[in-house]
Amino acid sequence: MTMANIIIVEDEADIRELLELSLGKAGYAVRACASGEEGIAQARLSLPDLMLLDLMLPGVNGLEVCRQIRAMPGAEFPVIMVTARGSESDIVAGLEMGADDYIVKPFSLPVLLARVKKALSRQGRGIEVPTQGIVIDDRRHEVMLDGEKLELTSSEFSTLKFLASHPGWVYTRSQIVKAVHGENYPVTDRSVDVMILSLRRKLGSKGKSIETVRGVGYRFEE
């Protein structure tokens, strides 16, 4: 088995060293970068299996790093943003820029390691739908809840399928719209909320599987 390769981009030396040490101990090959420029250069040199990306960086900031990385051919590895508390708008921007997950500082090391492990294990896996009483039949475009067929609109079906295929991942409203309707579909955030509300109602006691992430968007529970 080859070691997963992780790029850390973090300008604060003590955090960078802590991450480098802990991830190294956990068995990953780590490249620690102190700036966005260095992170991009390292990714160009050879694509990692995952990137831990601080958003607040001097020079090229984390959002720009994310944008440039996603523009690289084949760069589909998970990007976990590391952000300061209270920067929900940055989180939203980062997710829309192609980041996959985020961790808020100050973080707990075991939680961070678990998130890294999870993100790496999700890599390359196909669509998985949790079977906790909800069965999504993609071919028939039907959802069964505890054996009963649900009457969902096409948007509700696609949204449920999208969220449930990525349990634990947070999506912004515009990412949901993009996944369901494609690019440049004119829909307000409010109408996404209304649709989710209706979907939750139809899911009954399972409705709480769709969690609201305040200031960011929605996710399907793990």
If one asks whether residue 11 binds Ca ion (CB under 5 A), the answer comes out as: yes
Q: Does 54 bind Ca ion (CB under 5 A)?
A: yes
Taking contact as CB under 5 A, which single stretch among the options 3-11, 40-48, 139-147, 168-176 is the one that binds Ca ion?
3-11
User: Scanning residues 122 to 161, which ones bind Ca ion (CB under 5 A)?
Assistant: none
Contact between 38 and Ca ion by CB under 5 A: the answer reads: no
- Kindly tell me which residue out of 18, 26, 47, 56 binds Ca ion, with binding defined by CB under 5 A: 56
Residue placing its CB nearer to Ca ion in the complex, 36 or 78: 36
Q: Does 75 bind Ca ion (CB under 5 A)?
A: no
The secondary structure element, H or E, covering residue 158 is helix 154-164
DSSP class per residue in 11-61: S-HHHHHHHHHHHHHTT-EEEEESSHHHHHHHHHHS--SEEEEES--SSS-
Q: Give me the residues paired with residue 33 across strands.
A: 9
CB of 85 to Ca ion, least distance (A): 13
Phi/psi-derived region of residue 195, left when phi > 0, alpha when psi is between -120 and 50, beta in every other case: alpha
Rounded CA gap, 91 and 173, in Å?
A: 13
Judged by CB, which is closer to Ca ion: 34, or 113?
A: 34
Region binding Ca ion by CB under 5 A among candidate stretches 5-13, 88-96, 98-106, 202-210? 5-13
Part in contact with Ca ion (CB under 5 A); list of ranges 21-29, 49-57, 108-116, 145-153:
49-57
DSSP characters for 176-210? Answer: HHHHHH-TT----HHHHHHHHHHHHHHTGGGGGGE
Binding site residues, Ca ion, CB under 5 A: 11, 54, 56
